Amino acid sequence: MTTATAHPNIALIKYWGKQDRPGNYPATPNVSITLSGLVTQTTVQEADRDQVTLNGQQVEEDKILHFLRLLRGSFQISPLHIDTHNNFPTGAGLASSASGFAALITAINAHGGLGLDQQMRSAWARQGSASAARSVFSGFVTLAPPDWQATTLATAEHWPLNTIVAVTNERAKSVNSTTGMARSRSTSPFYDPWVKSCQEDYTLAVDAIARQDFELLGETAERNCLKMHSVMLTSLPALAYWNPATVGCMQVVRELRAAGTGVFFTIDAGPQVKAICQANDVERVNAALQSVPGVQRTLICGMGNGAHISSL
């Protein structure tokens, strides 16, 4: 029995769309921060047949079963019982598949003696869910050309940012990222310009992180997020992940900023808003988000470790 721990990550420059080749490669270069506080713990052990339980409930997770089939194309792996627990809402735009696949490959690697190093685990995690490639690493993590190998760009110590997650709806999202991306690609008139424009956003963000330029990072990340949501909203049928509280949180972040607080927001394929700020502003940003009607709770995160074994 082997247990691995991984944390979700939040993309500041987003992955939305896939390349036209096998291996689940993003179409857009992306950069994220790995979060602390939100935790996925995955335990694997031998079983008679493959079985997956998520937060104590048995589930039929096609993505996990597909991932196991892929792995078995390269390694001999006996049937497994996979037991996963998230301490945060699952499948609701909080990157549970990122931490999920990062923890899963880390647990299977240690349990089965696959001999994968961190880079190889990340490449496998990408095939489960591309954002998971980033959760194998800590700090600021890039997944970008030329090799699309995730790697730590800067450590948490370099620039320890904080993320406050405003949870506006705990339920799982109606359209998952994989389906949503395919829909955007085939129907949104903004898809191609989106893919083209991401390279510039990525370059700006990498530079902002290197120089700890909060204003540039915030401006670039927020705009990149809104571009992605423009693609989502102009897909057919529209991928409308926001609710009134999501919009309320965005407005509060803008008001805080107008009043001099360094903060910006980002939103993934779900209605939760993530506000990013520096340590001395956490209390103020948290209180402001909690006061938005429809916010159910907030989660305060620092920067987390990459996926690792927590017990053998």
- Sketch the per residue contact string, 112 through 131, with ligand DP6: x for CB under 6 A, - otherwise: -----------------xxx
- DSSP assignment of 73-100: TTS----EEEEEEESS-TTSSS-HHHHH
Contacting range for ligand DP6; rule: CB under 6 A; set: 11-19, 45-53, 81-89, 207-215 = 11-19
Among the listed residues 305, 310, 297, the one whose alpha carbon sits nearest the alpha carbon of residue 94:
297
For the segment 192-251, give every residue that binds ligand DP6 (CB under 6 A).
Answer: none
Other CB atoms within 10 Å distance of the CB of residue 21: 7
Nearer to ligand DP6, 11 or 221 (CB): 11
Interatomic CA distance for residues 194 and 177, integer angstroms: 16
- Does the protein bind ligand DP6 through residue 24 (CB under 6 A)? yes
Please give the structure tokens belonging to residue 257. Answer: 């900023």
Options 52, 268, 272, 295; binder of ligand DP6; rule CB under 6 A: 268
Nearer to ligand DP6, 108 or 130 (CB): 130
Contacting range for ligand DP6; rule: CB under 6 A; set: 8-16, 81-89, 156-164, 298-306 = 8-16
- Does the protein bind ligand DP6 through residue 88 (CB under 6 A)? no
How many residues form the binding site for ligand DP6 (CB under 6 A)? Answer: 15
The H or E element spanning position 140 is strand 140-143
Options 4, 11, 80, 231; binder of ligand DP6; rule CB under 6 A: 11
Interatomic CA distance for residues 208 and 214, integer angstroms: 7
List the beta bridge partners of residue 153.
none
Q: How many alpha carbons lie under 13 Å from residue 217 in its C-beta half-sphere? A: 25
For the segment 165-194, give every residue that binds ligand DP6 (CB under 6 A).
Answer: 177-178
Q: Which residues bind ligand DP6 (CB under 6 A)?
A: 11, 14-16, 24, 30, 95, 97, 129-131, 177-178, 268-269
